Amino acid sequence: MVRGLMRRVLARGALAYVSMLSVLWMAESDARAQQCNNPLISTCINSDTFWPHAGPQRFAAVGSAETVAERQIAFGLVTSWQSRPIIVGGPSPGGAGSDQFAIDDQVNANFLFAYGVTDQLQLDLGMPITLVQTGAGTSPLTGGRPVRDTAVRDMRFGLAYALVPRERGDLWKAAEEGGAGKGFALATRLTFSAPAGDNTSFAGERTMVFAPSLAADYRVSRMFFGADVGARVRPVTEFAGARIGTQLTTALGAGVDILPRDVLSVFLEGRAYVNFAEQRSARLESDGRTIIPAEWLLGLRSAPVLGGDVSFFGGGGGPIPLSEDPTTVPRFRFVLGVTYAPMNRDTDGDGVPDRIDRCPTQPGERGGERPGCPAEPHAERAPDGHEQERGP
């Protein structure tokens, strides 16, 4: 009864959490909107399209279909270095113009947190900041100062719910013996980006961004696959001829376990964001062009300790040329991250989570000096005074 009451309280708390986000979505700041309405020098564009998720993650950007275990807290740190994501055209002595780098090099850090309300419901929080950056900012257009060295970026928060949860057991065994039914998982996410960042350095949006998505993953033997489709709903913001608004977000990933039990994996992923806002010509007329920021990334992942709850990953990649306009598409990106996401995975099904199970592949006892290991044979005294083993 007490457990059921706690579940109802947590469920209502999650509902109140979503309601609060909806209120924030409606409460747009008029002052900020006015500041971002200049189509020539508005910097209310997020230069970083890479939004890593809190909680379990098998890819760098493709959303996971798994959630943190009930009443468990996950946290992580994911950094990325991107080069020249914002380019503007400036005047030159010859009259043909030249490209100027509003953002040249940028290093961002994402502090990620998640809490498992239930085994299927997870609350997320992401706090990104810019550690260092260089670039001309709007100076090619206005003659002003370059971008600031550091910046606070828009905070992200939301929830994830596992529509088709995967059993928290041995992933290899589930995929090989259970077939598609146990190798498949599906989850939905509701993410909000609050306009709290520095919008003078391409670190904040003009309003809150609503980003619903649907994530799926599938495992068969050593191979694993992921897919993520959703949207980033926002009003249109213009900067130096580029118009960025609501986007259709898509991501695909595939990988293979080089060593068993998540000790070492390699993955390849790609993502593309189809921008619904048509671009305009120099006469401010629609010219039918569409911006599609797209990138690929090749990386390695390892989760060798605490039953796979602690994972390390890193990789690098570059642009996928789906559109001519390079706005928010870096020429290269490198990613490095570490996460702790307690899953309460129990490989041998003995009720002892793998992170504390001393014998994770052999069913054993829950207590004792070696939790999760089979009971040791008892010892008794022989007539000559020496110990001898006696079977259970």
Distance linking the first and last C-alpha atoms of the chain = 38
Q: What angle do CA 61, 229, 102 make, to 5 degrees?
A: 55
Range from 212-216, 272-276, 332-336, 357-361 carrying the lowest mean pLDDT: 357-361
Taking only Cα atoms into account, the Rg of the chain, rounded to an integer number of angstroms, comes to: 25
Spatial separation of the C-alpha atoms in residues 323 and 293, rounded to whole Å: 7
Query: Which three-class secondary structure state does DSSP give residue 281?
Result: coil
**Contact between 213 and 230 (Cβ < 8 Å):** yes
197 φ, ψ to 5°? -85, 175
- Is this model's pTM higher than 0.75 or not? yes
Helices then strands, each counted (H, E), the chain? 5, 17
Alpha-carbon gap, residue 334 to 34, rounded angstroms: 35
Side-chain-side CA neighbours of residue 133 (13 Å): 32
pLDDT of residue 150 exceeding 70: yes
Distant-in-sequence, close-in-space partners of 209: CB < 8 Å, separation ≥ 6: 154, 192, 193, 232, 233, 234
User: What residue spans define the domains of the chain?
Assistant: 2-340
357 pLDDT exceeds 80? no
Cβ partners under 8 Å of residue 145, min gap 6: 137, 139
- pLDDT per residue over 30-84, tens digit each? 445 555 665 556 677 888 999 999 888 899 999 899 999 888 999 999 999 999 9
Tell me how long the chain is.
392
**Nearest CA to 104 among 135, 81, 80?**
135
Taking CA atoms, 357 is separated from 50, 196, 342, 348, 349, in Å, by 36, 43, 14, 9, 11
Per-residue pLDDT tens digits for 272-307:
999 988 776 544 555 567 788 999 999 999 998 887
CATH class of 2-340: mainly beta
